Amino acid sequence: MNGTLEAPNLDVAFLALSDPTRRAILARLTQGEATVMQLAEPFAMTQPAISRHLRVLEDAGLIARRAEGTRRPCRLSKTGLDTIDQWLAMLRDALSKNYDRLDALLVTMKSGNEEEIP
């Protein structure tokens, strides 16, 4: 991973994830597709307010909707979630390399041979 993921997509995705209602909607969608009305049930807000949250999630690429007559079921979008996952994987890899270097330094220090420090 060379850090070349598109920053605007990540910016929009993380902005979408910054809202607890939108995170709760995504958590609900881990159970499977749901309609706007099903997603609105646990919240004390109007259907239009939920629809605005869904629009933000859709614009961020985190959910997808399909037409089914008058219903528009929502589901998680693999593409949007993969973009975030790839970015996080880059950070996990960098962190792992930092720990590996620290482990090597500690081994070198314990052996008393500080000339081998990477």
d(CA 73, CA 71): 6
Strand partners, 68: 71
pLDDT single digits (tens) 81-112: 998 999 999 999 888 888 878 888 888 888 87
Is 106 domain-assigned?
no
Q: Is residue 105 part of a domain?
A: no
Name the domain count of the chain: 1
More confident residue, 82 or 5: 82
Q: Let me know if residue 114 belongs to a domain.
A: no
Tell me the pLDDT tens digit for each residue of 35-48: 999 999 999 999 89
Q: Is residue 116 part of a domain?
A: no
Within a domain: residue 43?
yes
Which range of residues forms the domain containing residue 54? Answer: 7-91
Phi and psi of 19, rounded to 5°?
Answer: -95, 130
Residue with tokens 């939920």: 50
Q: Which of 79, 78, 72, 61 is nearest to 17 (CA)?
A: 61
Whether residue 101 is contained in a domain is answered as no
Give me the chain's average pLDDT, please.
86
All residues at 6 or more sequence positions from 54 whose CB lies less than 8 Å from its CB, including other chains: 25, 36, 39, 63, 65, 74
Average pLDDT over residues 25-42: 95
Residue 12 lies in a domain: yes
Average of pLDDT values for 11-37?
Answer: 95
What CATH number does the domain containing 34 carry? 1.10.10.10
